[in-house]
Amino acid sequence: MTNQYDVVVIGSGVIGSSIAYHLSESKQKEILVIDKGFPLSGTSGSTQAWVWVHNKTPSWYGELSMYSAELYPFLERKIGDVEYKRTGGIAPFFNESDREKALRLAEKQAEVGIDIEVLNREQVLEKEPALSPTIAGATYSKIDGNVNPFRLVELYIKAAKRNGAEFSFYNPVIDIDKDNGNFTITTKEGVFYAKQLILAGGPWTKGLGELLGIDIPVKQVRGQIIVTEPLAPLIKHTIGGMRQADNGEILIGYSKEEVGYDRRTTLDVIQDTAKMAVDYLPDLARANIVRCFSGIRVMPHDGFPILGEIPEIDNAFIAVMHSGITLSPLVGTLMTELLTEGETSIDLKRLRFNRFNECNV
């Protein structure tokens, strides 16, 4: 391993590893990815891993998610089987008064090409007989699905390595300086130099920004997830809040809490999650819970990705967002375009860092 690179990516989660892989395809850059831990020890390894599109709003955000979901089949052909399943997604509602809201969602999403059906109770139960008969209806779209996050990140990294990218794990970044056009990245294991720098540290990106003297407007959000014992096939679709894995386990999670970097699970949230799950799928009342876990997600202050150049620091870039699993194929593609061609095939204006005027350098 040398200490001089064209690009250093900080963070090897699903976003950092996707950027490294897509950038490595061009064979134009010497790339190093630095991570304070090991891949999947953080957010990317503690998620339900939906590839979720249909009710992401406003519609431009849904459109971005749709583009990314459409890339998954092509991604698998290049890096291998990431166990991507386009199951279709169902978002139930329990009150008939929500039908008008669902119809408006379908109308707006249709403007950007997202096909949504608004189903009545009988139509929903025909698709998912295990859902509660107390539901009033649901929105449904074929575009939603899920993926195995462990396979996804592992194969991103393996493919990037085959293309020459290097990785340095268990290596926290201690300091970042910029001098004579180069970034100097001081880590626990040594000093590295880079012409271009990408911050992709997920929940830790705010701390990385402080090393550059900038305030990155993100917060940490905890999501708690419960996992059932393996069950006979019960649900076929990805349903708002839950999915069934290949081994029969059902992963369930609805919670969002701002508690800092606290990965403990708590009885009150687990009980609430279990109750909601039974409200959706009454058969789960007889299922045993075999484990619970939590993940710390990153959430930009306005909820939307921060992607592109960091203002007033030449050749510094940021890629931080919620829904990283859904967006990673598209983000890797766009960041590669930006670093190699200086422009992107999709306008990133809405996602630029400097939309947070009060947080500029």
Mean pLDDT (whole number) for 178-205: 95
CA distance 31 to 194: 9
* CATH number at 219-300: 3.30.9.10
Segment 149-170 shows an average pLDDT of 97
Model confidence at 92: pLDDT above 60: yes
Whether the bond between 58 and the residue before it is cis, its omega within 30 degrees of 0, is yes
Please give the Cα distance from 211 to 41 (Å, whole number). 23
pLDDT class of 360 with cuts at 50, 70, 90: very low
Across 63-86, average pLDDT: 97
Residue-level pLDDT at 134:
96
pLDDT digits (tens, 9 = 90+) for 226-247: 999 999 999 999 998 899 998 9
> Residue 187: enclosing H or E segment and its boundaries?
strand 182-187
Distances (CA, A) of 298 to 15, 203, 256: 12, 4, 11
Report the alpha-carbon distance of residue 81 to residue 321 in Å, rounded: 24
pLDDT at 359 exceeding the cut of 60: no
Topology adopted by domain 4-47+150-217+302-358: FAD/NAD(P)-binding domain (3.50.50)
Read off the tokens for 138. Answer: 């649901």
95/118 Cα distance (integer angstroms): 13
pLDDT at 358 over 90: no
Answer left, alpha or beta for residue 177, where phi above 0 means left and psi between -120 and 50 means alpha: beta
User: With bands split at pLDDT 50, 70 and 90, how would you rate the model's confidence at 357?
Assistant: confident
User: SS3 of 211, please?
Assistant: helix
Token output for 141: 């779209």
Over the stretch 2-59, which tens digit does the pLDDT of each residue have?
799 999 999 999 999 999 999 999 888 999 999 999 988 889 988 889 999 999 999 9
Average pLDDT on 168-186 reads 95
The domain limits of the chain are 4-47+150-217+302-358, 219-300
Does residue 103 surpass a pLDDT of 90? yes
Q: What is the DSSP string of 119-158?
A: EEHHHHHHH-TTS-TT--EEEEETT-EE--HHHHHHHHHH
Burial of 148 (0-12, 13-18, 19+ CB in 10 A): middle
Q: Please choose, from the candidates 168, 152, 165, the residue with its C-alpha nearest in 3D space to the C-alpha of residue 34.
A: 168
Q: Among residues of the chain, what percentage have pLDDT more than 70?
A: 99
pTM here is 0.95
Residue 184 has pLDDT above 70, yes or no: yes
